[in-house]
Amino acid sequence: MAEGQNHPIGIYLWVWGALFVVSALSYWVDWYGFQGALRWSLILIFMFIKAGAIVWVFMHMKWERLSLFSAIMIPTVFIAVFIFIMALEADYTEIVRLTFFSDWQNFFTVEHHGTH
């Protein structure tokens, strides 16, 4: 089976074990109660390690040709662009809500906003 993706069982078992450990670590982040930037960076690091291991070994991306790898992986970059755009949009929405809806009876009486 020259065409097939047949690899030593050891690498699967190794990655499997690693996924267990990293999952336990990310659960531990919540258990221990980390907060703030440390919590978020730990969660994201563990998330990308797990995602990378699954795509790289379990989904055999490591052994695919660069053509297939590029066709699948490059378009995902646009997701990052979309996240950035929508984060800006969400910030704007929050400002609008805090400005108008937190005291939202005054939203229709324009002179209240003009006079303070």
Partner 1 sequence: MNTVTETAGLDGNDMEPGVTAGAKGIVADWSSDQVAFRKAPWGKAMMWIFLLSDTFIFSIFLIGYMTARMSTKVPWPNPSEVFALTVFGTSVPLLLIAIMTFILITSSGTMAMAVKFGYEQNKKVCFRLIVLTAILGASFVGMQVFEWSKLILDEGVRPWYNPFGAPQFGAVFFMVTGFHGTHVTIGVIFLFIIANKVRKGEFDRGDAGFMTGRPGRYEMVETIGLYWHFVDLVWVFIFALFYLW
Q: By the criterion CB under 8 A, which residues form the site for partner 1?
A: 1, 3-7, 9, 12-13, 15-16, 19-20, 23, 26-27, 29-31, 40, 43-44, 46-47, 50-51, 54-55, 57-72, 75-76, 79, 82-83, 86-87, 89-91, 93-94, 97-98, 101-102
CB nearer to partner 1: pick between 9 and 110:
9
CB nearer to partner 1: pick between 23 and 106:
23
Q: Give me 76's structure tokens.
A: 């995902």
- Amino acid letter at 81? V
Collapsing DSSP to helix, strand or coil, 57 comes out as: helix
Q: Measure Cα distances from 59 to 18, 37, 62, 84 in Å.
A: 16, 31, 8, 28
Could you tell me the smallest distance in angstroms from the CB atom of residue 105 to partner 1? 15
Q: Is 47 in contact with 26 (CB distance < 8 Å)?
A: yes
CB nearer to partner 1: pick between 98 and 113:
98
